Amino acid sequence: MAEMINIEVCYAMADKQELVKVGLAEGATLQQALEASGLLTKYPEIDLKKNKFGIWNKLSKADSVLRDKDRVEIYRALIADPKEVRKQRAAEGKVMKKGAGDADASAEA
């Protein structure tokens, strides 16, 4: 008889986090933990082909073998590219500085 391992499967949404504990046979894979958690059924937006997954914050493949007390994480797609957001914020800052300077000059006149 195979030894059992205890795994946590975590899915963080924008407004809440779902954490499910599952017991699996030793040698179980990340995909088996996802299926056993019931999260794939509960949240149909999770797509094994599109979403990324990890074990303890490290990207992992669906066939990765789990160890006792591992935490499987389901990652959502980014809403915006962080680099692009930084560029936009920097551009807005330059515009605001220019605008603020003009406002001070007209107030003095």
Q: Residue 62: left (phi > 0), alpha (psi -120 to 50), or beta?
A: alpha
The whole domain housing 31 covers: 4-75
- Pair of tokens at residue 27: 């040698």
Q: Do 68 and 19 reside in the same domain of the chain? A: yes
Say if residue 63 is in the same domain as residue 99: no
Can you give the CATH number for the domain in which 40 is found? 3.10.20.30
Determine the Cα–Cα distance for residues 17 and 63; give it in Å rounded to an integer. 24
46 and 89 together in one domain:
no
How many C-beta neighbours within 10 Å does residue 71 have? 15
pLDDT in tens, the chain (109 residues): 679 999 999 998 888 899 999 999 999 999 999 999 999 999 988 888 888 899 999 999 889 999 999 999 998 876 666 677 777 778 777 665 555 555 555 555 5
Per DSSP (E only), the strands in 1-109 are: 4-12, 17-25, 52-55, 58-60, 71-75
Residues 70 and 24 both lie in one domain: yes
